[in-house]
Structure 1
Amino acid sequence: MRVVCTAVPGSGLFLPTVPLAWAFRAAGHEVLLLNNGDGARAAAGAGLPVVDPLPDRDLWAEFMAAVAGMLKGGGRQPDRGGFGWFGEQMIDGMLPVARAFRPDVVVSTLEQGAGRLIAGALGVPLVEQGIRLGWAGLDEHAVGARQDIADYLELTRERLGLPDAPVIPMATVDVRPPSMGGVATDTQFLMRYVAYNESRVIPGWVTLPPTRPRVCVTIGSVLPALGGIGALRGMLASLSTMDVEILLAAGDIDLSELGELPSNVRPLGWMPLNALMPTCAAIVHHGGSATVMTPLAYGVPQVALPKFADQPLNAGAMAKRGVGVTVNEPEEVGAALAQVLDDPSFAKAAAEVRDEMAEQPSPAAVVARIQQLAG
């Protein structure tokens, strides 16, 4: 079987797709990823065949600059916005490559509407890979978002003379645990969430048991790009007096803006969350979907400070299940973390969800179902 996989190039919207792509390859199928910028480079770093349809542009950087401009009330703003923009920009370069590859199936995330156009043009099944905790399949939000992207791309479809294609994919992959919304049907395949956050050489001490509770703190990649460094400063100040070891997974953030770090903080730069979770007692984060799902897979309680996009939805689902606490202000993080560490019900609920996720079908099992679907 030949499989084209595609997603939006933002790290949180692409990296969760890597385990399924590798499951296809491990099963002996031919796989080609179509992505741009950091998404394409991350795919190559994961050892996957990838083509960048726009090698001279970085669409995610352009998108984030436009969003930052809108939030600041100035700067260049796009004529049209939303995730449909990525498909609009990428489809001209993607389509000839996909035609030459001759896939039997297209696997795309909801956000990358070009996947639907490619599947329609080539007359092959479209499987939508769910990557979020907030929605999948025929959930109301997913149906609305899918239709919005299809409407956005209608002008592009007409310009290219492509046949109309169903907005609802032939099948969807749902990584949510059933107790947090996951649904299994004949056309919606539950799949175990396998955390992938790129690879780095991990310091040996990270794998060793800590002498006091170890807590990971991260605010992802989007919030810092939009000026969210102040939230991180407030978080660390709130945690500075606690008897815990803080692992600051700060990515490429310039920490000099924070001044002198509290004595209980160990900055790590960019470090895969899945490497940190086995020895962490809790995690404090911004509520990004992949950032919520990764500690769920390891049974780690959470504190979330959501700000925008799907973050409040992810954090709300986490709190409703009892695996953590959601707060509104950075100054509230310390008290919330103390609550999560002191009340064993949070660790119990987190362990229940971890075990539930471990029972879900593996990516390899989902590959077999997609192969059957594609004939």
Structure 2
Amino acid sequence: MRVLFASTRGSGHFHPLIPLIDACTARGDDVLVVAPPALESLLATRKQPYRIGGEPPQEEIARAMTSVLALSPDDGVSMMVTEVFGRLGIAAMLPALEAACRDWRPDLVVHEAYEFASVVAAERHGIPRLRVAVSAARFTRPTDTLLAPVFAPYGTGIVERLLATPYLTRLPASLDPSSYAVTHRYHETLRPGVLTDRWGGAEEPLVHLTLGTEAGALPTAAALYRALVEAVSELPVRVLLTTGHLVEPADLGPLPPHVHVEQWVPQADVLRSAALVVSHGGSGTVFGALAAGVPLVCVPLFADQPVNALLVADAGAGKAVTPTGGPEDEPAMLGADDVRAIHAATELVLKEPSYRVRAERLADEMRSTATVAELLDTLAP
């Protein structure tokens, strides 16, 4: 079978495709990945063939993103979906995906939930599709109501057929019920390594601080990291802060001795040892923590993070701390009240066993779903 995978530019959007790509490769399928230029360096480290599509004009992207950050959270999401992923994303990526569908002739197109050019290309060539969740269905399904004008230039009925496309998600049903007509749940089989000791043999609980891949690129990222460190610095814990490749540990200034900073550590290795994750509530971090049975303190900043934080809190698998913000001209900041609230939430989740128990129950539920290989054998035999 020939399987074409398509992603938008964010690594957080591409990562949910990786287990499916690897499983297709392992069973002998021919695989082709089509993605924007921002993912080329990542794709070059992998063994699957890939093609690089286009990207929107930088001035248009810059203008759109400036508007997104200035809008209310709901309006910002709407603009991101319709303008960045929608109008601009389709126009940039459609030529490469059309060419791939025409000359490579895939039997199946697998796209992450917000890659829409592949939807248009597959429609034009009559190729079946699978849609892979990036976020919770509770977040994604309402954004689908915005898509009619996005797809209107490319034909009729596309949104309706998109909603009928099999929807693949790693989140368990008890946490994130799906209103999609056809929903399949699956889990990854991970083999985490042992986390190297960075604390001289200390045995206090390990707290992992992270802002993921997208929030870590914000201009205010260093200040956000410092605020998170301040929130947990007086607790009897070991701290591992991962900053991503755009922030140097030295940018954070002097840190307490029990706080260790690295740009990147394999998430599965950290979660194997972690007692708690304090994060922005990004989907990749939330999925990973819950799959490992680790509770969270979520401090949502934008996009799907408020929904993820709410799901975690409602499930009793952690706490949500909605930021009140820093200065008005720097909305993506944490103020003194936020730091105190994060400290209190972290202390509570570490002390109260029920949060860990509920996270572990969700992990058990996730492990009861199909493996990636089993899912592919069902949907793409």
Identify the TM-score tier after normalising by the shorter chain: 0.7 to 0.9
Q: Which amino acid aligns with 1:315?
A: A
Contact 1:207 1:276 in 2 (8 A): no
Say whether residues 1:3 and 2:12 are aligned partners.
no
Q: Aligned partners of 1:104 and 1:256: how far apart in 2?
A: 49
Contact 2:56 2:92 in 1 (8 A): no
> In the alignment, which of 80, 83, 86 is matched to residue 81 of structure 1?
83
Please name the residue that 2:134 is paired with: 131
Contact 2:249 2:262 in 1 (8 A): no
> In the alignment, which of 238, 242, 262 is matched to residue 249 of structure 1?
242
- 1:164 to 1:177, Cα distance in 2 relative to 1, 3 A: closer
Please name the residue that 1:175 is paired with: 170
Contact 1:323 1:347 in 2 (8 A): yes
Q: Determine what percentage of the aligned residue pairs are the same residue.
A: 26
Please name the residue that 2:186 is paired with: 191
Say whether residues 1:97 and 2:100 are aligned partners.
yes
Q: CA deviation at 1:15?
A: 0.9
Please name the residue that 1:361 is paired with: 370
> In the alignment, which of 245, 266, 270 is matched to residue 272 of structure 1?
266
Please name the residue that 1:321 is paired with: 315
Task: Name the SS of the counterpart of 1:178 in structure 2.
Answer: coil
Task: Name the SS of the counterpart of 1:366 in structure 2.
Answer: helix
User: Which ranges of structure 1 fall in alignment gaps of 5 or more residues?
Assistant: none
RMSD: 3.2
Task: Name the SS of the counterpart of 1:48 in structure 2.
Answer: coil
Q: Which amino acid aligns with 2:252?
A: L
Q: CA deviation at 1:318?
A: 0.7
Greater shift after overlay, 285-294 or 42-51?
42-51
| Structure 1 stretches of 4+ moved >6 Å | 58-62, 206-209
- 1:241 to 1:206, Cα distance in 2 relative to 1, 3 A: closer
Please name the residue that 1:340 is paired with: 349
Contact 1:109 1:128 in 2 (8 A): yes
Q: TM-score, normalised to structure 2's length?
A: 0.83
Task: Name the SS of the counterpart of 2:44 in structure 1.
Answer: helix
Contact 2:248 2:263 in 1 (8 A): no
Please name the residue that 2:233 is paired with: 240
Q: Aligned partners of 1:337 and 1:276: how far apart in 2?
A: 17
User: Which ranges of structure 2 fall in alignment gaps of 5 or more residues?
Assistant: 72-78, 323-337
Q: Which amino acid aligns with 1:51?
A: R
Q: How many equivalent pairs are there?
A: 354
- 1:86 to 1:130, Cα distance in 2 relative to 1, 3 A: same
Q: CA deviation at 1:265?
A: 0.7
Q: What do the CA deviations read for 1:111-131 (whole angstroms, capped 9, x no partner)?
A: 011121121111111211113
Q: TM-score, normalised to structure 1's length?
A: 0.84
Matches within 5 A, 1:192-231: 192-193=187-188, 204-205=196-197, 211-229=203-221, 230-231=223-224
Q: Which amino acid aligns with 2:369?
A: Q
Please name the residue that 1:330 is paired with: 339
Please name the residue that 2:26 is paired with: 26
- 1:82 to 1:36, Cα distance in 2 relative to 1, 3 A: closer
Contact 1:107 1:129 in 2 (8 A): yes
